[in-house]
């Protein structure tokens, strides 16, 4: 059997490791701290993502490297590519870990985005507000997740407060999109360029955090599906992507508007574990190991995935009492507000 190296020790790594084990692979987690992935993976290197020596030793110990977490130092990861296949490739990581890069890349392939400007100083933010208008959202261009590193701007005099609140990092100002719904395209691309794509879920966010993903999505989302999936396929091809790739979209009167992408399995694809013939995790493992990809067909007439955030996880006894609910707990020891503790999936026959 071969060994799959995974950068990151969170719940996405845990679910990847379970899928890998089912296909007969061992996993080796590389992360600065232990986490949910370590409970199910036999091997670990505990080191920083920019520790070139530890990374090189890790690369020699595994047969392929993937990542469940894209907020890693790019240069040392790119340096692994000559030693071991890194899948998805370095270009996917570099593009998707920076909001300025990903917006420009997707626009270059014909995708629609919110009006945006790259911002590296308060003076540039003031110019950007004048150009983009308001309301707008200022986001750090790197390292944001679950709505962290963002500030809403509803009037130009909020520029200084917004700039200070995100910590004056390289940033992007985005015009606020008036949207009806949010959805995502989750696809897997194989080593040979074959693409399979899941039907798009309706994604509902609360406080900037995904709350639920529902299949099938309403007709307004279905009307955007072909255009969004075609764009996502173009993005995957242009990156030479191998593995799962996720693009988030808004449904607007003008059609789908691209929000952001993730070069990895995604929370809005968790419904596929029980709700699709092949889960996003299995398809990611198949793709990076050069295996044929599996069917993305839905197993029932509908699926709902509900995230268990913070104290929601205390509802586990009631969820277990539901005959058809699939409970997933990530084994995180500390409950914190806004922290993803688990999820539950309900498949309608």
Query: Can you give the binding site for ligand ATP, defined by CB under 6 A?
Result: 114, 137, 139, 144-148, 174, 176-177, 182, 205, 208, 248, 259-260
Partner whose footprint covers residue 170, from Mg ion, ligand ATP, none (CB < 5 to 8 Å by kind): none
Question: Residue 136's closest CA among 165, 159, 160, 102?
Answer: 159
CB closer to Mg ion out of 174 and 312: 174
Cα–Cα distance for residue pair 126/160, rounded to 1 Å: 9
Q: Is 148 annotated as a binding residue?
A: yes
Could you tell me if 30 and 60 are in contact, meaning their C-beta atoms sit under 8 angstroms apart?
no
CB atoms within 10 A of CB 194: 11
Which two structure tokens, joined as six digits, stand for 104? 């420009």
Could you tell me if 142 and 71 are in contact, meaning their C-beta atoms sit under 8 angstroms apart?
yes
Q: Report in angstroms how near the CB of residue 162 gets to Mg ion at its nearest.
A: 19
Question: Residue 5's closest CA among 55, 79, 75?
Answer: 55
Partner whose footprint covers residue 114, from Mg ion, ligand ATP, none (CB < 5 to 8 Å by kind): ligand ATP
Binding-site string for Mg ion from residue 233 to residue 272, where x marks contact by CB under 5 A and - marks none: ---------------x-----------x------------
Q: Is 144 annotated as a binding residue?
A: yes
Using only C-alpha atoms, the chain has a radius of gyration, in whole angstroms, of 20
- Cβ-proximal residue to ligand ATP, closest one: 177
Q: Report in angstroms how near the CB of residue 230 gets to ligand ATP at its nearest.
A: 21
Q: Report in angstroms how near the CB of residue 52 gets to Mg ion at its nearest.
A: 27
CB closer to ligand ATP out of 96 and 285: 96
Q: Is 260 annotated as a binding residue?
A: yes
Partner whose footprint covers residue 225, from ligand ATP, Mg ion, none (CB < 5 to 8 Å by kind): none
Sign of the CA dihedral 152, 157, 159, 161? negative
Question: Residue 150's closest CA among 160, 133, 130, 136?
Answer: 136
CB closer to Mg ion out of 248 and 312: 248
Q: Is 205 annotated as a binding residue?
A: yes
Which two structure tokens, joined as six digits, stand for 50? 């920019």
Q: Report in angstroms how near the CB of residue 95 gets to Mg ion at its nearest.
A: 13
Residue 18's φ and ψ, nearest 5 degrees, are -65, -45
Q: Report in angstroms how near the CB of residue 272 gets to ligand ATP at its nearest.
A: 17
CB closer to ligand ATP out of 46 and 152: 152
CB closer to ligand ATP out of 146 and 220: 146
CB closer to Mg ion out of 248 and 274: 248
For the chain, list the strands marked E by DSSP: 3-7, 26-31, 43-46, 64-67, 116-119, 136-140, 150-153, 171-175, 181-189, 195-197, 202-206, 209-215, 243-252, 255-262, 302-309, 325-329, 340-348
Annotated binding site for ATP: 99, 139, 144-150, 174-177, 182, 205, 259-260
Annotated binding site: 99, 139, 144-150, 174-177, 182, 205, 259-260
Residues that bind Mg ion (CB under 5 A): 248, 260
């Amino acid at each position: 059997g071969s060994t799959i190296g995974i950068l990151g020790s969170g719940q996405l790594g845990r679910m990847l490791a379970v899928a890998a084990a089912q296909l007969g692979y061992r996993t080796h987690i590389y992360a600065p701290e232990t986490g949910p992935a370590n409970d199910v993976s036999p091997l670990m290197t505990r080191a920083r993502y920019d520790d070139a020596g530890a990374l090189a030793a890790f690369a020699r110990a595994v047969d392929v490297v993937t990542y469940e977490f894209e907020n890693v130092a790019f240069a040392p990861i790119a340096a692994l590519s000559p030693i071991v296949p890194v899948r998805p490739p370095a270009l996917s990581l570099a593009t998707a870990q920076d909001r300025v890069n990903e917006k420009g890349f997707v626009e270059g392939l014909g995708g629609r985005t919110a009006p945006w400007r790259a911002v590296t100083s308060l003076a540039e933010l003031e110019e950007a507000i004048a150009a983009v208008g308001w309301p707008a959202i200022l986001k750090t261009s790197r390292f944001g997740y679950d709505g962290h590193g963002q500030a809403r701007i509803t009037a130009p005099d909020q520029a200084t407060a917004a700039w200070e609140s995100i910590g004056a990092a390289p940033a992007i100002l985005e015009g606020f999109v008036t949207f009806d719904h949010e959805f995502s395209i989750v696809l897997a691309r194989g080593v040979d360029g074959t693409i399979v794509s899941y039907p798009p879920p309706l994604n509902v966010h609360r406080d900037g955090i995904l709350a639920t993903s529902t299949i099938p999505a309403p007709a307004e989302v279905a009307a955007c599906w072909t255009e969004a999936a075609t764009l996502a396929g173009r993005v995957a091809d242009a990156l030479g992507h191998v593995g799962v790739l996720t693009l988030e979209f808004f449904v607007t009167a003008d059609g789908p508007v691209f929000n952001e992408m993730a070069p990895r399995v995604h929370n809005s694809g968790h419904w596929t574990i029980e709700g699709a013939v092949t889960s996003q995790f299995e398809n990611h493992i198949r793709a990076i190991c050069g295996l044929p990809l599996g069917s993305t067909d839905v197993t029932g007439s509908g699926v709902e995935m509900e995230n268990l955030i913070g104290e929601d996880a205390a509802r586990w006894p009631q969820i277990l009492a539901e005959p058809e609910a699939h409970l997933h707990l990530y084994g995180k020891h500390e409950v914190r507000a806004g922290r993803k503790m688990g999820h539950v999936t309900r498949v309608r026959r």
